[in-house]
Structure 1
Amino acid sequence: MCVRRSAVKLRYGMNPHQSPAMVEPIGTAPFTVVHGHPSYLNLLDAIGAWQLVREASAGSGTVAAASFKHVSPAGAALAGPIHPVTARLFGVDQSTDAVTQAYTRARDTDPKSSYGDMVAVSAPVTAELAELLRRVVSDGIIAPGYEPGAVAVLSNKKNGTYLILQADSAFAPPVEEVHELYGLRFVQRRDDAPLPGGLSADLRLALTTVRYTQSNSIVLVRDGATLGVGAGQQSRVDCIRLAGTKAQLWHQRRFIPVDGASELTSVQDRVNAQLLLAETIDPPVPLQEVSLASDGALPFEDNITEAVRYGVRNIAEPGGSTRSDVVAEAARRNDINITHTGLRLFRH
């Protein structure tokens, strides 16, 4: 089935009782449906995830991947080395191809939340990635292409209902975005403002990820991969606590070998066993050298106090609040480098 210039019926809307539902492209659609029948939320996750990996890949010059749930990333990453514990957990070789590296690192951010995710990768899906996806619980994928055999493997997932979308890498979205809700039509310019120059690779990935995360949001990154995403909180300090708690658990999991769970054949069973054990230990070294991005200005010093607990050393946030100078001074006192981007990245 090809989504092009005519409306396509969806399985249902946000909830099963919201039916009928459909999607109608404005001109040429940004993807083709290769296999499966999408739902409303599948497509919201897919287009958000695809924009994230497309932007992250362009900004880094390497392959990017994201694991999306409920219109926010559970994790995002660039291709890079896979931690030995992570490699054993997911049953991948550390020398695997770049697209499999990127997705493994993205899903490893918060594998509990990634259960049943929508996957996005910036490069064609390889046989190695298809094999990994065959073994994890996932609802669908969007990618710019598929190597021979990959679609056949994926189309057998979920009793043949796995959603496979092929993104149009050349698609240019309209300048204006329109959202109709409760009898009102909201029109705004698409959020296409470039990120500031001179940022570290980790801060750039953190800002790109936070741009596609439901506000309020905080993203923690180290070595080209997210460690924790705090999304959709009314209080910004709660966003930091949520992202930091996930990052701390990510760190604790580095010290839990999964060899003892080798009898558990399911990846998710191994993940669950590792999570339970990780919550019971104190790592021999603290979490360090973490970069933090905030979609809005940090309003109070308590944000810095929380950030210090999770090893944050670099922050990118818009600045411009009435207390930005006070917050910046608190950061300096704690040996944290803070960059005011002048760019708010709210997403609702």
Structure 2
Amino acid sequence: MAVPSKNIPAPDRVIIKRALLSVSDKAGAVEFARALHEAGVTLLSTGGTSKAIAEAGLPVTDVSDVTGFPEIMDGRVKTLHPSVHGALLSIRDDAEHKAAMVEHGIEPIDLLVVNLYPFESVRASGANYASIVENIDIGGPAMLRAAAKNHAYVSVVVDPSDYQSVLEEMKAGEGSVGLAFRQRLAAKAYSRTAAYDAGIASWFAGAVEGVSTTYNSLGGTVAGELRYGENPHQTAGFYKTGENRPGVATARQLQGKVLSYNNINDTDAAFELVGEFDPAKGAAVAIIKHANPCGVATGATLVDAYKKALACDPVSAFGGIVALNGTIDAAVAEEIVKVFTEVIIAPDATDEAIAIIAAKKNLRLLVTGGLPDPRAPGMAVKTVAGGFLAQSRDNGVVDDFDLKTVTKRAPSEQELADLRFAFRVAKHVKSNAIVYVKDGATVGIGAGQMSRVDSSRIAASKAQDAAKAAGLDVSLAKGAVVASDAFFPFADGLLAAVEAGATAVIQPGGSMRDDEVIAAADEHGLAMVFTGMRHFRH
């Protein structure tokens, strides 16, 4: 590797003689500084890091003594100085750079150790706007980028987990660090600053109205290594963005195996769905398989809701994800463990429930401390070849809609309650989505079909299967209501619901053939309401 402008080759190894440490997370920093000192490295530092090193009895020079300028403005300005950035950016084998260093009394820095202000954790804590802004690091990212750019001569450490590997590299090289190692450290530093800035940008996008969408970025901090992705031949990682939203990324795992890629994806889908149901209005349970609900229900208790949700599709529930909108108690825990389940997620769990679930050692149990707000703003992202799509989260909630009755018959009070329930669920079913509901529980779900009429037929078939599993002679769809995530383009999808025995329909409306669909509903005595909002989910 060479510096292109002057074709100056980078040295294979660089001896670490002088290091600057400035860390927010001080875990292991003093021990690392001691090891560097014992290796003959001169230590520079700032603020609290300098104080911690000095209190450990180690010789350290404060950066303000190097710059000849004190920290000012509550520490906002301390390292933004040529004596620091010149020491990081200078090309040691360039005659002009060497002359400038001599002229201005700049000594090179061979190792930079920086971790940034805890913006992500402060954001996740729900702190106020001013506190979050104050935790946006300026000097740290500037130094990291400078050192990483000049990795031909400078080693840059952004993660305390790398302290030991740096010491081992120095020991192997008799105090020096190899070029390949410096390159890897630089790549990690740029990944860190990119994720840090992306987190700040995404926070601003949600906190400030009218933020420009000219630029967009993805960023996160690894939350855990995954064995593989959706399939064993795919690599994968799980990253946290710092968004303060209860869910799988913020949950505490109380027991069970490490979550897989598919577990995380499905658990997120389950918990976002159950978050649609306010626990103050009743217990709710969602059972998810392959990111689609196979049963959702409300009830007087969680165990009642679980039994109703399971009855919708007991076959598909095998190996599924169970999400609950309240604290798991012993009664519902006893029921859940009767069926092979991959993950249980809820705001909390009693000690008795935890003990019951513990008997299934591989079953993952996650508690979140709260429910996601379905109305909260946020971003959803999907990659495409050469780019990615970004959109605001679908935070439309049917309880906020002004439903419009478009048929001669208006829905009854019970039908209306079930229609709202069905539309909440349809929002979380892959398009095309058809959902049958009766008495606060799904009884048939058709998901992800290329035509809406096929989804209607599958949902009706599922309702028939559920009836057989329950020992009933009549399909559970008979007397149920039905929701469609988008409008019926033709009357055939509606007629499939009529054939199944549905009595009322909820859909967005907006088709060129709405009149035809409404006429078909009137002809068969159905009540139908329009929401004016669709919920495509691809």
For normalisation by structure 2, the TM-score amounts to 0.53
**Deviation string, structure 1 residues 231-287 (Cα, Å, up to 9, x no partner):** 00001000000000111222344435xxxxxxxxxxxxxxxxxxxxxxxxx54x985
Q: How far apart are residue 99 of structure 1 and its match?
A: 0.6
Find the counterpart in structure 1 of residue 393 from structure 2: 190
**Deviation string, structure 1 residues 139-187 (Cα, Å, up to 9, x no partner):** 1111000011222322332xx2211111241655652223334442211
**Deviation string, structure 1 residues 43-97 (Cα, Å, up to 9, x no partner):** 1111111121121236x811110100001000100015xxxxxxxxxxxxxxxxx
Which residue of 285, 294, 303 maps to 2:493? 303
Q: Distance in 2 between matches of 1:286 and 1:133?
A: 23
Find the counterpart in structure 2 of residue 15 from structure 1: 231
Q: Distance in 2 between matches of 1:240 and 1:27?
A: 37
2:459 counterpart of 1:243: yes
Structure 1 residues 210 and 165, CA gap change in structure 2 (3 angstroms):
same
Q: Distance in 1 between matches of 2:358 and 2:377?
A: 31
For 1:324, give the aligned amino acid.
D
What is the number of equivalent residue pairs in this alignment? 300
- Tell me which protein shows more helix as a share of its residues: 2
2:379 counterpart of 1:176: yes
Structure 1 residues 306 and 71, CA gap change in structure 2 (3 angstroms):
same
Identity across the alignment (%): 35
2:264 counterpart of 1:43: yes
Find the counterpart in structure 2 of residue 73 from structure 1: 293
Q: Which has the larger radius of gyration?
A: 2
**Deviation string, structure 1 residues 100-129 (Cα, Å, up to 9, x no partner):** 111111111011111100000001111111
Q: CA RMSD in A?
A: 2.2
Is this contact kept in 2: 1:6–1:25, CA < 8 A?
no
Q: Distance in 2 between matches of 1:73 and 1:297?
A: 21
Find the counterpart in structure 2 of residue 106 from structure 1: 309
For 1:48, give the aligned amino acid.
A
**Deviation string, structure 1 residues 298-330 (Cα, Å, up to 9, x no partner):** 111212221111111110011101111101110
Q: Distance in 1 between matches of 2:445 and 2:526?
A: 20
User: Which is worse superposed, 148-157 or 224-233?
Assistant: 148-157
For 1:320, give the aligned amino acid.
G
For 1:102, give the aligned amino acid.
A
Q: Distance in 2 between matches of 1:112 and 1:102?
A: 17
Is this contact kept in 1: 2:250–2:368, CA < 8 A?
yes
Which residue of 198, 210, 213 maps to 2:426? 210
Structure 1 residues 286 and 169, CA gap change in structure 2 (3 angstroms):
closer
Q: Could you say what secondary structure the match of 1:18 adopts?
A: coil
Q: Could you say what secondary structure the match of 1:135 adopts?
A: coil
Structure 1 residues 337 and 13, CA gap change in structure 2 (3 angstroms):
same
Q: Distance in 2 between matches of 1:161 and 1:211?
A: 31
Which residue of 273, 291, 306 maps to 2:481? 291
2:436 counterpart of 1:220: yes
Find the counterpart in structure 2 of residue 231 from structure 1: 447
Q: Could you say what secondary structure the match of 1:255 adopts?
A: coil
Q: Distance in 1 between matches of 2:369 and 2:241?
A: 13
Find the counterpart in structure 1 of residue 37 from structure 2: none
Note the residue ranges of structure 2 that are not aligned, 5 or more in a row.
1-120, 125-220, 404-414
